[in-house]
Amino acid sequence: MHIHKNKSKNDAKLTIASPYLNDDPSPWIRKLISSPLAKDVQIILIDDGTHNDATDANICALIDKWPGPAIRLMLKKNVGRSKARNLAVEHALGEYILFIDADMVPAHDDFLERYFEIIDKKSAAIVFGGFEVPHENVEHDLMLCHDLAMRSDCQPAKYRANRGAYAVASNNLMALKKVFEREPFDSSFKGWGWEDTEWSIRVTNSGFGLLHIDNPALHLGLDTSLTMLKKYREAGANLAIMVKKHKFANRFLAVKTAIIVGKLPIHRLLRPIAKFVTLDKLKIMPVFLRRMAIKFWRASWASDSLKQLRHN
């Protein structure tokens, strides 16, 4: 592991941590670096296998300019989302840690102020600020990701609060450092999906209070349809881990849907059709049809993982 750090003081109220793989966290750093509160913020950047010289040089230059403590950890190989986050906790100086994805940027100028108000009052152990997606100039290949996010993820706090831990994501998540130390992210989850849901349910069941607020980050890195197909395929194995760890996960709609789809004798044969509709290379499919296709794709792969779990 290669470490680059600045020469600032070694104390902070808040640590902002951002593991990244083939992304560049520079936009959110530039957004926050001029804030008067930045001097009380430590930033931790974890290169989880990108190893891009130009990106790294840019990040190291920003670290040297950051008014509070800052460090970049370059890992020799990709260790995954959970392990990278847990490593950030080990290096965190702040009483609170805010995880923000590398392809996010604060949506409002008072982003830090909103979190510091909670830190100063110690009004919550866990806080999720939510996220938004761009609404202008959305390319066709990003339209499906935009549609899914708007329908399920991009909700104001009052709606997310009704779902509690189930509405938490790790892309704009703040919690006391002691929460992450007591309940680390589970590194048995590989690839994409469910590890943040499992963490949030586990910690709230342990008695830590959760607060949903409107302090969104803007998701700049909408996924292409091909990337989404890959992620949704990976998510099946992680859903099976979720079911194995927590019996209540059998009540999840994703699990019930996977079981129903798995009972169709030809569901595997329908995957190429679902992929074709999702990608929509001819640009003739309505978004709702592409949405149904990728949901079927996800359920089909998840059904295989759940069946394998039952047979083991």
Tens of pLDDT, residue by residue over 12-26, are 999 999 999 999 999
Final residue belonging to a domain, choices 222, 247, 277: 222
Tell me: do 144 and 214 sit in the same domain: yes
240 and 203 within one domain: no
Q: Which residues neighbour 200 within 8 Å (Cβ) at sequence distance 6 or greater?
A: 126, 128, 165, 166, 168, 210
pLDDT at 236: 95
Q: Of 176, 197, 222, which closes a domain?
A: 222
Give me 187's structure tokens. Answer: 């590194």
Same domain, 148 and 35: yes
- Residue corresponding to tokens 């998701």: 219
Q: Give the pair of three-digit tokens for residue 298.
A: 């996800």
pLDDT at 312 over 80: no
CATH number, domain containing residue 61? 3.90.550.10
**Cα-to-chain-centroid distance, residue 157:** 17
Closest CA to 111 of 130, 89, 134: 130
The answer on pLDDT for 111 being more than 90 is: yes
Is pLDDT at 307 greater than 80 in this prediction?
Answer: yes
Buried b / exposed e over 147-186, threshold 16 CB at 10 Å, is bbbeeebbbebeebeeeebebbbbbbbbbbbebbeebbbb
Tell whether 147 and 293 lie within a shared domain.
no
Residues 256 and 150 reside in one and the same domain: no
Query: Interior CA angle at 163 toward 203 and 184, to 5°?
Result: 20
Higher-pLDDT residue of 202 and 7 is 202
Residues 261 and 120 in one domain: no
Shared domain check, 201 and 305: no
- Work out how many domains the chain is built from and give that number: 2
pLDDT in tens, 132-179: 999 888 999 999 999 999 998 999 999 999 999 999 999 999 999 999
Query: Using one digit for the tens of pLDDT, what is the confidence trace for 25-55?
Result: 999 999 999 999 999 999 999 999 999 999 9
End of a domain among 222, 237, 253? 222
Considering the domain architecture, whether residues 249 and 202 belong to the same structural domain is answered as no
Residues 192 and 238 in one domain: no
Global pTM value: 0.94
- CB 79 within 8 Å of CB 48: yes
Tens-digit pLDDT profile for residues 69-108: 999 999 999 999 999 999 999 999 999 999 999 999 999 9
168-193 pLDDT per residue, tens: 999 999 999 999 999 999 999 988 88
- Are 234 and 214 found together in one domain? no
pLDDT at 227 over 80: yes
Q: Is 90 exceeded by the pLDDT of residue 310?
A: no
Tell me the percentage of the chain whose pLDDT exceeds 90: 91
89 and 172 part of one domain = yes
- Percent of the chain predicted with pLDDT > 70: 100
Confidence label for 208 from pLDDT (cuts 50, 70 and 90) = very high
Looking at the structure, tell me whether residues 60 and 113 fall in a common domain: yes
What is the tally of helices (H) and strands (E) in the chain? 12, 11
* Structural domain that includes position 26: 2-222
Is the pLDDT score of 309 beyond 90?
no
